[in-house]
Amino acid sequence: MHPQSLSRRQLFQLSGFAGMGLLLDSCGLNEYSTAVGNAIDPLNQRVEELLLKPQALAREYPISSIDPNALIINSFTDVPQIDPTTFKLIIDGAVNQPLQLSMNDIYKLPLQTMVIQHVCVEGWAAIVQWGGARLKDLIALAQPKNTARYVYFESGDGYYNSWDLPSAIHPQTLLAYQKNGQPLPVDNGAPLRLAAPIKLGYKQSKWVTRVTLMNQLPIKRGYWEDQGYEWFGGL
């Protein structure tokens, strides 16, 4: 089941709930109306168009294809300590509405599940089901600026990674908190990990703590990418 795209009205409602956890700076009560104003600002057209533009969907599999043992844990360090009850996902950078969202905020977004193939360049693949919030919905809540072209991900273990904006707002790109219908195990990236059928395994950061929209990429583009792996990492 794919929840429908958020309508503008739904986004405003979500902005309302997200407001409770927002990084409110000086604007105070005007923050909400500022966000509404920015959403219809013609300068934002490019990002808005991108958010509304349909993208081709990657293959999904029936639930019966899930192989519960096929997904190999692949981490370059030990798992980081993240307390999901106090954890806040930061969304910042080239956005009009920087956000700090608790897991409860994120659970209020539409839950999308998908059974997809995970492909690791080390020579294994697995059919796995992920469930979580669409990154697109989270990015839309933060009101990206029209200059945003890239999304940078920081993880609790020091892993870092960056994506092109169209892939980040692809309808099958999730910040997942479920695996095979269960809460996401810590080894697989709990409380939040990237999951998408359009990118190789090393693009799918586990333990994501911060999502930063950028106009340009920094020199350090990704943990594996900086050691020679291809940056786009498409499937």
Ligand X SMILES: Nc1nc2c(c(=O)[nH]1)N[C@H]1C(S)=C(S)[C@@H](COP(=O)(O)O)O[C@H]1N2
Binding site for ligand X (CB under 6 A): 71-76, 120, 155, 157, 159, 188-189, 201-202, 204-207
Partner that binds at residue 150, options ligand X, Mo ion, none, CB closer than 5 to 8 Å by kind: none
Q: Under the criterion CB under 5 A, does residue 201 sit at the interface with Mo ion?
A: yes
Partner that binds at residue 23, options Mo ion, ligand X, none, CB closer than 5 to 8 Å by kind: none
54 token code pair: 């349909």
Q: Which of 32, 150, 202, 207 binds Mo ion (CB under 5 A)?
A: 202
- Which residues in the 29-88 window bind Mo ion by CB under 5 A? 74
Amino acid at 172: Q
Please list, residue by residue across 113-139, b when 16 or more beta carbons sit within 10 angstroms of its beta carbon and e when fewer do: bbbbbbbeeeeeebbbbbbbbbbbbbb
Q: Which residue has the tokens 């273990």?
A: 157
197 versus 201: smaller Cβ distance to Mo ion: 201
* Nearest partner of 133 among 93, 97, 168, judged by Cα: 168
35 versus 91: smaller Cβ distance to ligand X: 91
74 versus 178: smaller Cβ distance to Mo ion: 74
134 versus 206: smaller Cβ distance to Mo ion: 206
Considering the complex, what minimum distance in angstroms separates the CB of residue 201 from ligand X? Answer: 3
Please name the helix (run of DSSP H) or strand (run of DSSP E) that holds residue 152, with its range, or none: strand 150-155
As beta bridge partners, residue 119 has 125
* Nearest partner of 109 among 142, 149, 156, 148, judged by Cα: 142
Q: Under the criterion CB under 5 A, does residue 132 sit at the interface with Mo ion?
A: no
Partner that binds at residue 137, options Mo ion, ligand X, none, CB closer than 5 to 8 Å by kind: none
Report how far residue 38's alpha carbon sits from residue 48's, in angstroms, rounded to the nearest whole number. Answer: 11
